Amino acid sequence: MVELADTHALGACGIISRGGSSPLFGIYYLENKNMIKKLAKPFQEVLLEKRLCVGCTYPLDKATKSGKLSDNRTMVQCKCRRRYVYDKELNEYRRATFAEEQQILKELNH
């Protein structure tokens, strides 16, 4: 009787993975993910320059104000629930960091 190889350890189609249980979640996936990020970044920058949400292209000037981070920075939330920080000095939007989101949530809970 022929014993079957441990195909889970070999990954899909018998290919030995270098970063996970299958090549999809290993090095090949990470390379493709980084490539997609490099392609998407210029488009997102253009959308932010035009003051549009990078997810749904809704005008950020119409977004709901969530709270003030400082005198010059205000957090807004788009209708698709992405959060942005509006900098009054620079007159531009950027994506909110996790720490900034947590700061607003703490202020709302108090």
Domain boundaries, the chain: 7-49, 52-109
Predicted pLDDT of residue 25: 56
In this structure, are residues 84 and 63 in contact, taking their beta carbons and an 8 Å threshold? yes
Evaluated on CA atoms 75, 49, 52, 99, the torsion sign reads: negative
Predicted pLDDT of residue 1: 46
Tens digits of residue pLDDT in 10-62: 445 555 545 555 555 566 666 777 888 888 999 999 999 999 999 999 999 99
Predicted pLDDT of residue 46: 95
Of the candidates 39, 29, 86, the one whose C-alpha atom is nearest the C-alpha of residue 62 is 86
Predicted pLDDT of residue 21: 54
Residue 6 pLDDT class (50, 70, 90 cuts): very low
Residues 13-34 as b/e (b if ≥16 CB within 10 A, e otherwise) read eeeebeeeebbeebebeeeeee
Under DSSP, the state recorded for 56 is T
Q: How far apart are CA 52 and CA 60, in angstroms?
A: 5
Q: How far apart are CA 86 and CA 68, in angstroms?
A: 10
Tens digits of residue pLDDT in 54-104: 999 999 999 999 899 999 999 999 999 999 999 999 999 999 999 999 988
Backbone angles phi, psi at 55, to 5 degrees: -95, -45
